Amino acid sequence: MNRTPRQAARIVVLSPTGSVFLFRENNVEVGIHWLPPGGGIDPGESPEECVRRELREETGWTDLEPQRLLCTWEHDFTYQGTPVRQYEHIYVTSGPHRDPVPEYPEAHWRWLSQDALAALGEPLWPPRLDELLARVPAGPVHLGLIA
């Protein structure tokens, strides 16, 4: 299947106690999965600008900055009816443990402890997020194409 390339960026927000803020979504092709705030990079936008915008849109938070690039990865899925191969930049930042004010009130979100993240039993985007956060790598890790 031919897939349209799509660039995206996400930001993992860690609370002072190490909890991770994630959304739970359901995609027709991949099913239920958990992922940090983020989305497609707009034309002319940097990955860092994208995560700032997406964080504001999806949580209402405007006071957090991407601190460092954790990893990159590629995956295939269907976005708004279009099969895409998405290349994602995943950033990390620290922030207070607080409720979001999401743009969609039906958004399902949760702060998950590191233990809860490891025992989730549902897919994470990016895969191995729990491992990457448990043993923070010295530099960004490229996870490659994960089917």
**What pLDDT was estimated at residue 19?**
97
**What pLDDT was estimated at residue 112?**
97
> Of all residues in the chain, what percent carry a pLDDT higher than 90?
82
Average of per-residue pLDDT values in the chain: 93
**What pLDDT was estimated at residue 95?**
97
Tens digit of each residue's pLDDT (9 = 90 or more) over 76-90: 988 888 999 999 999
pTM of the model: 0.94
**What pLDDT was estimated at residue 103?**
80
Q: Is residue 17's pLDDT more than 90?
A: yes
**pLDDT grade, residue 28 (50/70/90)?**
confident
Q: Which long-range contacts (C-beta less than 8 Å, at least 24 apart) are formed by 99-105?
A: 100/21, 100/58, 100/59, 100/60, 100/61, 101/59, 101/60, 102/58, 102/59, 102/60, 103/57, 103/58, 103/60
**pLDDT grade, residue 141 (50/70/90)?**
very high
**What pLDDT was estimated at residue 13?**
98
**What pLDDT was estimated at residue 135?**
85
Q: How far apart are CA 99 and CA 112, in angstroms?
A: 13
